[in-house]
Amino acid sequence: MARLEAVVTVSSDSAAPVSASAPVPSPRTDSEALLDGTDASPLFTPLELSGLPLANRFVMAPMTRQASPDGVPGEDVAAYYARRAAHVGLIVTEGTYVDHRSAGSSERVPRLYGEDALAGWRRVVEAVHRAGGRIVPQLWHLGVTREAGTPPYPDAPVFSPSGLRADGTRAGEPATIAEIDAVIASFARAAVAAREAGFDGVELHGAHGYLLDQFSWSRTNRRTDGYGGDPAARARLGAEVVTAIRGEVGPDFPVLYRFSQWKGGFYDARSADTPGELETLLGPLVTAGVSALHVSTRRYWLPAFDGSPRTLAGWAKQLTGLPTIAIGSVGVAQAFGEAKADASSLSLAPLVELFERGEFDLVALGRVLLSDPAWPSKVREGRLTEIQPFRQEDTTRLT
């Protein structure tokens, strides 16, 4: 089943670490700890992303809501996104199933195929655009994390690179080349549908242990053909999906790619053990035409590799030259998947310093936007006491 996706990373052009004199996050847990005297105005500067003008540097992160019966987003979903549209530069929707029959496991997760669902998405896009926002759908295939027998197509087989779950247990058979080609075509059709529905681009979900990430990760990809083995071969499927999409939508339609080291339930997992391996994994995506990288971490400020203070988003930006989106516990006291509070994520001072050093171009917000759609505007205007703190119950409703 899909997990709530609210994590934030940072990216870096520079090898320079956050200095010893950098703002130290405040131990306070109230909303006033957010600024600690820091000027957050740099995060409210405009940006053009592959020709798409964005009003500020904040992105609404994709978060599964399970609020679309029969896979169709309704007026409540349109209103939910529209409430946030005026406050962030870009919205990335919750994961939406592509039309491959093995893609999903819920009838309440939206899909990006079928006239009923596409009509619903057109209403969402129109509502967001009326509010002055920009929006892209996240294209999603669960891969081996899907349980056999689950809807919307209970008879569909589990699809994966090697028939292996992350824990090493068997689940179905390794995908054939013909089956891989069918999945690539499914993603391309979804991108075309997104463009025709009026979306401003697309994001591919290549993170958190789902299908594209399963091909990238050596634990779930044991193939011995051209889709497995070294990091470049493991990156092949993601790159071929991007190439297929580019062939359908042309060079100017923004195509974002989300990746992560961590996987659902395996927070210490790593697809790349060194910067060199990361470069090899990301290089084919750059060549294929990705516009930006959405780098998912659980704590945006942590170094990605031993021997360097640079964050994962920072490495991604330096190695590829692409714009990066950072994510990982901005404005909340707990990292995703943990109950223990860590007040170091509350202050925006380190976030602003990293941004000004070129560590990232955009920063995604997850859980804070569930409880307060206007969170960025309240920060910009200094209305910190009006900010509604994240509440766990907001993960189960459209606020």
Q: Which residues are catalytic?
A: 210
* Residue 281 contacts residue 239 (beta carbons within 8 Å): no
CA distance 4 to 66: 10
| Structural tokens at position 298 | 């659980």
Q: Which residues, listed in sequence order, are joined to residue 48 by a DSSP beta bridge?
A: 53
Q: Which residues contact 393 (CB under 8 A, 6 or more apart)?
A: none
Two tokens, residue 44? 């409210």
DSSP string over 61-126? PP------GGG---HHHHHHHHHHHTTSSEEEEEEEE-S-TTS-S-SSS-BS-SHHHHHHHHHHHH
Provide the pairing of β-strand 47-49 with 52-54.
Answer: antiparallel
The CA distance from 399 to 392, in Å, is 12
Residue 203, φ and ψ in degrees, nearest 5:
-125, 135
Distance from C-alpha of 143 to C-alpha of 202, rounded to nearest angstrom = 19
Yes or no: say if 59 and 169 are a contact pair by the CB < 8 Å rule: no
Question: What is the sign, positive or negative, of the torsion defined by CA atoms of 399, 394, 6, 112?
Answer: negative
Query: Per the structure block, which two tokens stand in for 78?
Result: 């349109």
CA-CA distances (angstroms) from residue 300 to 63, 241, 266? 17, 28, 18
CA dihedral 211, 212, 215, 220 (to 10 degrees): -40
Give the tokens for residue 1.
Answer: 């089943």
Rounded to an integer, what distance in angstroms lies between the CA atom of residue 145 and that of residue 106?
12
